[in-house]
Amino acid sequence: MNPVFVGLGLLVGFLVGLTGVGGGALMTPSLIFLGVEPLVAVGTDLLYATVTRVFGVFFHGRKGRIRYDIALRLFAGSAPAIILGGVLLRWVNREVLNEYLTVLLGAVLVASAVLSLLKGEIHLPIRPRWAYVYLLGFVVGLTVQFTSVGAGVIVSFTLMNVVRLEPKDVVGVTITYGLALSTFSFMNYASVGSVDYGIASLLVLGTIPGVYLGTHVSRNADGAKLKKAINIIILLIGLFTLMSG
């Protein structure tokens, strides 16, 4: 058993429990920096995200309502992106995918961090329409296929600032949609052998106590400042990933 991956799961789980942000945005680049092939890092993180989101949907479903109608529309928009992602994983050369995936990951990390830092501060003069939800599902679906990042931050930002969804409904929709998206995206990677089940198991093993500890510590911490600090770290990681790519 490699303690490094257990420790990584513990750290990321602690930060998620502490602030509610940073899971996918920290996990995939961390795996790449630890020497995991980019495609395998994304596939492994998608499995890790699927397992952890199952618990998120269960607990949120017990504590609050979930707008399944919006989550289903988002996933309907993502379905063509999932199919397209599966085709590209099989047809495009693996070395080419690994090369461009790193650059795309860096760009998505930077965009996600900026949106998180600005969330709630932008009021776009756009009338809410269901077409935007389907379009959002397609864009995020394609992004998650090749980075495993973006479902949470990008969807939350758009639902609040474009769809005008009530903040209390955003979390439930994001977690439920994210679970469906990561599950089917993981299947694409599993079908081409780009998932390390051993690493994913170690990450989950570390994450469970990490989330528990982070949740308890968060009661005495300044959540807003911590979220801002983590988003700045994610921004720096994204810039570093772009430069290295």
Query: pLDDT (tens digit, 0 to 9) for every residue of the chain, 245 residues total?
Result: 688 999 999 988 887 777 666 677 889 999 999 999 999 999 999 999 888 888 777 766 666 677 888 999 999 999 999 999 999 999 999 888 888 888 888 888 888 888 777 765 556 566 767 788 899 899 999 988 888 887 777 787 778 777 777 777 787 888 888 889 999 999 999 999 999 999 999 999 998 888 778 777 766 766 677 777 877 888 888 888 888 76
- For 124, left (φ over 0), alpha (ψ -120 to 50), or beta? beta
221: containing domain = 3-244
Selection from 164, 186, 147, 146 nearest residue 53 by Cα: 186
Cβ(182)–Cβ(58) below 8 Å: no
Instruction: Write out the two tokens for 107.
Output: 């760009």
CB-CB contact of 112 with 155 (8 Å): no
Q: Which two tokens stand for residue 6?
A: 């257990």
The structure's pTM equals 0.86
Number of domains in the chain: 1
